[in-house]
Structures are given as C-alpha cells and as structure tokens.
C-alpha cells in the first residue's frame, strides 16, 4: 500500500509544481511589459526621477483637461451601456414578443462588423446630428459598440434567474419594472459589474474612434494626448514621457480590476456564458 501511495504522491506533487510553475511563468510574461513601462517612466538621462511625469502633467492643455475628457467619455459610456443592456437583457431574457430571436440575432450581428469600417459613416451621421467633434457623440459610438456583448451577457444572466423569484415579486405586488429594479438587478449584480468593467476599459483606452471623431486638441482624450506626446520634439519620439503616460493610463484599469475581480469572475460563472 505504501509503495502504491508513493508514486501517487509523487505525481500529485509534480502536478502541483507544474501548475504553479506554469502560473508563475505566465504571470512574469504578462507583468513584464507593465514593469518595464514603470521602470522606463522614471528613467532619466541623469538617473531616476519624476521628470517624465512632470513633463506629461504640463503637456499641451494640461493632463487635467485630458483626464477630464476621458473621465466624461468613460462615465457616459458606462452609464449608457449599463442602462440599455440591462433593459435589453431583461426584455430578451424574461419576456416573449414577436421577432424576439430575430432582433437578438441582429443585435449580435454588430459583432461581426469591424468597427473601423463604419467609423467614417458614423462621422458623417454625427455631423448631421450636430455631434461631430463632441464627447457626447464619441460616447454614443462607444456605447453602440459595447451593446451587443453587454446585451448578450445580461440576457443570459436574466435567463439564469429562477422563475420562483419573479413569482414572489409578483405576489408582493411588483410590476415588471419594479421587479427589475428592486429584485433582479441585485440578483445579476456580478454580470452588471462585468459589463460595466468591460465598458470602462473600452472607453478609457479607446484610441481609434477618438482619433477619427475628435479633431480639437481641447477635446482630446488621454490616449490621444499620450500618442501626441510622441513627436513633440521635432518628430522624435520621447519614450520616457510616453511610458509615463502609459503608466498613468494603466493605473486606474489595474486598480479597478483588482477591486472588482471577484464580481468579474462571478459574472462569468453565474450564467453569463450560458449557451
């Protein structure tokens, strides 16, 4: 018995070592670019310091203006995405109406269209609406790109809720909207956090849509400002200042993900990826 248990323990120990070794190697692989950016951001010709961050803070209209623009776009994108996807997911997941499946497929079909191919028509459309070179117009475009995946997640999350919970709310006198706001939103909170986090990351880090839709420097978002820092000295790329901007952009994303990672994982595990 002892001789049989020994190989089993050996295999178990080897499996754990392989698991943790692979995890450590992947962690180093993914963390290396962030660590390199952090090191490069504090490197100066005379050693190490915060000169690169000072240069970034005082660049152009000031980092505060670009930060405020990014914060405004991100807030509008997250709020709009959550509002529409929660209502849409609730309708697709808990109600029956003619053409529901077709409408849902058409919503998902947006995912099949590469969004750079429709930015020019959207630019013309925003011009007709008076929203060209506008943070509101940019937010509407980003919301549209987020809605298919967000609606898909919210629909599956609402479908995973037991019918008994809705029946209990109906017995207590709640209508459809009251059931959503008082009961179901709490039940799908992990999915709401996941959708909000995806929308935040997409809006905060967006570059291409901002590049096409914004043409005034006072409306530049943080990614545009950081890229614009590259050629500020006779077209030469200022890598240290650029890396300082990258660190400044990445910090809120890392912090928010670390704070919400439990709800983020639970959002995928609690029916968000049901077929």
Rounded-to-integer distance, Cα 100 and Cα 105, Å? 9
Position 231 scores a pLDDT of 57
Query: Which H helix or E strand runs over 160?
Result: none
What the block records as the tokens of 168 is 């209990």
Q: Read off the pTM.
A: 0.82
| pLDDT at residue 146 greater than cutoff 50 | yes
Confidence of residue 136 (pLDDT cuts 50, 70, 90): very high
* Contact present, 166 and 179 (Cβ < 8 Å): yes
Beta bridge partners of 236: 233
DSSP of 188-233, one letter per residue? Answer: THHHHHHHHHHHHHHHHH--HHHHHH---GGG--HHHHHHHTTTTB
Position 100 scores a pLDDT of 86
* Contact present, 116 and 182 (Cβ < 8 Å): no
Q: Identify the structural domains of the chain with CATH numbers, from first to last.
A: 60-272 (1.10.3720.10)
* Contact present, 222 and 66 (Cβ < 8 Å): yes
Rounded-to-integer distance, Cα 123 and Cα 137, Å? 9
Q: Which DSSP letter does residue 59 get?
A: S
pLDDT in tens, 20-43: 888 888 888 888 888 888 888 888
What the block records as the tokens of 94 is 């808990």
Rounded-to-integer distance, Cα 189 and Cα 191, Å? 5
Position 265 scores a pLDDT of 64
Residue 229: phi and psi, rounded to 5, are: -70, -20
Q: Which DSSP letter does residue 182 get?
A: I
Rounded-to-integer distance, Cα 275 and Cα 191, Å? 15
Residue 14 Cα distances to 20, 262, 264, angstroms: 10, 29, 31
Q: What is the mean pLDDT of residues 173-201?
A: 87
Rounded-to-integer distance, Cα 115 and Cα 147, Å? 13
What the block records as the tokens of 116 is 């750079």
pLDDT in tens, 230-266: 655 555 677 777 888 888 888 888 888 888 777 766 6
Question: Tokens 């109906």 belong to which residue?
Answer: 170
Question: Tokens 């990014």 belong to which residue?
Answer: 70
Q: CA torsion 22→26→31→33, rounded to 10°? A: 140
- Calculate the average pLDDT of the chain: 83
Residue 48: phi and psi, rounded to 5, are: -125, 145
């Amino acid at each position: 018995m002892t001789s049989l248990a020994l190989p089993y323990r050996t295999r178990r120990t080897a499996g754990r070592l392989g698991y943790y070794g692979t995890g450590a190697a992947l962690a180093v692989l993914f963390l290396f670019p962030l660590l390199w950016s952090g090191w490069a951001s504090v490197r100066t010709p005379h050693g190490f310091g915060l000169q690169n961050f000072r240069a970034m803070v005082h660049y152009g209209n000031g980092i505060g203006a670009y930060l405020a623009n990014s914060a405004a776009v991100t807030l509008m994108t997250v709020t709009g995405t959550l509002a529409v996807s929660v209502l849409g997911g609730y309708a697709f997941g808990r109600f029956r109406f003619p053409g529901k499946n077709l409408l849902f497929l058409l919503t998902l079909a947006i995912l099949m269209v590469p969004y750079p191919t429709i930015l020019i028509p959207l630019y013309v459309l925003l011009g007709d609406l008076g929203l060209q070179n506008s943070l509101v117009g940019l937010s509407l475009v980003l919301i549209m790109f987020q809605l298919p995946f967000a609606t898909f997640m919210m629909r599956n999350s609402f479908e995973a809720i037991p019918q008994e919970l809705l029946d209990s709310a109906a017995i207590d006198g709640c209508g459809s909207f009251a059931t959503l706001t008082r009961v179901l939103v709490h039940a799908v909170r992990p999915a709401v956090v996941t959708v909000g986090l995806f929308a935040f990351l997409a809006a905060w880090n967006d570059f291409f849509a901002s590049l096409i839709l914004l043409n005034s420097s006072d409306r530049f978002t943080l990614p545009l400002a950081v890229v614009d820092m590259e050629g500020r000295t006779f077209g030469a790329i200022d890598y240290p200042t650029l890396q300082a901007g990258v660190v400044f952009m990445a910090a809120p994303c890392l912090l928010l993900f670390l704070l919400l990672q439990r709800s983020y994982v639970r959002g995928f595990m609690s029916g968000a990826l049901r077929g």
